Amino acid sequence: MQPKFVKVVEVGARDGLQNECSVSTQDKVSLINALAKAGVKHLEAGAFVSPKWVPQMADSSDVLGQIDKSELTTFSALTPNLKGAELAFNAGANEFAIFTAASEAFTQKNINCSIDESITRFQPVMDFAKQHNIPVRGYVSCVMGCPYDGAVSLDTVVKVTKKLLAMGCYEVSLGDTIGVGTPQSTEQLLNALLEQVSADKLAVHFHDTYGQALANVYTALNMGIKTVDSAVAGLGGCPYAAGASGNLATEDLIYMLNGLGIEHGIDLEMLAQAGWQISEALNKQPTSKVSLALKAK
Ligand code: HMG
Ligand code: MG
């Protein structure tokens, strides 16, 4: 049941750095280039959101303009509306990501509209993407719980996921935004989804607030999930989910995949070096235990 190959979607340069105030454009460009050199093929490079809401991503056009591009690598960006999609396209993003949630309160705080309104706003993004042959990924946040509403209904997660797929997203990433899931709740979530959606259309995106992310990924792999989001050095958080920590560290994910004999195409040493490089720029240590262990050797 476990996959032979896992597609790793590296979100550190977006999810990781959207919470960090003083990262230079050059540091972001160096991070993305180092990750690509380490073999990462799917990189979220920025977010075309309102600079008033998330100023940390305001230089996304410059970042995308300055990185070493390769046709073999996906450089995606968050595009909440048509304006974001046009800016992302002009900057050279070759994949878009639209994002909503399974919680009304979070959707209002995050993107200033209801879940239904968010779907309506995404239609022009989908039309623009189709016109330009750009694949679109969907995100559903708060699949395991909401920082404002608490418990989230699995029915809503399934409904929103199916809406995103029906409107043309090639895959939907399930965001445990505040990192409250456990292997058991991951199993319940995926059981509910897999009754109606193929595993090939789903990705998992765990924040590691309670230290459960790796165990949750292992559970998901055993249930046939083949795409996992993670952030180098465990960078990350969400400006609209106070207390949410970083994503699962990519180094920890790769070490586990190596142990399971699952292919992924990424060089762990080079990845860890990329993580140390950005951590030094942020004046902190990676939260990845694997990265710390490799450094101590
Ligand atoms: P709004 O205020 O409702 O939008 O924001 P608006 O259309 O009324 O526009 C207001 C102003 O923003 C206008 O400027 C627009 O031009 C500008 P003004 O006239 O006041 O000068 N604007 C834009 N500027 C640049 N790019 C754009 C854009 N759109 C409007 N695309 C909006 C709605 C969605 C834009 C806003 O709420 C927003 O930007 N939110 C940011 C949300 C965000 O980035 N959250 C973090 C990422 S999601 C996440 O981390 C979760 C995830 O990792 C999964 C998980 O972990 O669960 C993906
Ligand atoms: Mg996230």
Query: What are the tens digits of pLDDT across the range 103-131?
Result: 999 999 999 999 999 999 999 999 999 99
**Range of weakest confidence among 22-26, 161-165, 216-220:** 22-26
Q: Tokens for 102?
A: 């399974």
Q: What is the pLDDT of residues 156-193, one digit of tens each?
A: 999 999 999 999 999 999 999 999 999 999 999 999 99
Q: Please tell me which residue in 142, 146, 169, 238 is annotated as part of the active site.
A: 238
Instruction: Tell me the per-residue pLDDT of 247-293, one tens digit each, with 9 for 90 and over.
Output: 999 999 999 999 999 999 999 999 999 999 999 999 999 999 999 99
The answer, yes or no, to whether any atom of ligand 1 lies below 6 A from the CB of 18, is yes
Closest CA to 80 of 18, 22, 7: 18
- Strands (E) in the chain, as ranges, are 7-10, 42-47, 74-78, 95-101, 136-141, 171-176, 202-206, 227-230
Is the ipTM value over 0.90, yes or no?
yes
Closest CA to 60 of 70, 71, 49: 49
Question: Alpha carbon of 195 to those of 2, 139, 155, 188, 221: distances in Å?
Answer: 18, 19, 12, 11, 16
Cα(261) to ligand 1 centroid in Å equals 40
State the distance from the centre of ligand 1 to the C-alpha of 152, rounded, in angstroms. 23
Which candidate, 158, 96, 156, places its Cα nearest to that of 124?
96
pTM attached to this predicted model: 0.97
Helix (H, G, I), strand (E, B) or coil at 10: strand
Res. 20 pLDDT band, cuts 50 70 90 = confident
User: Which of 140, 135, 136, 124 has the alpha carbon at shortest distance from 82?
Assistant: 124
Q: Tokens 């042959």: give the residue.
A: 133
Q: Is the pLDDT of residue 240 over 90?
A: no
| 142 belongs to the catalytic site | no
213/222 Cα distance (integer angstroms): 14
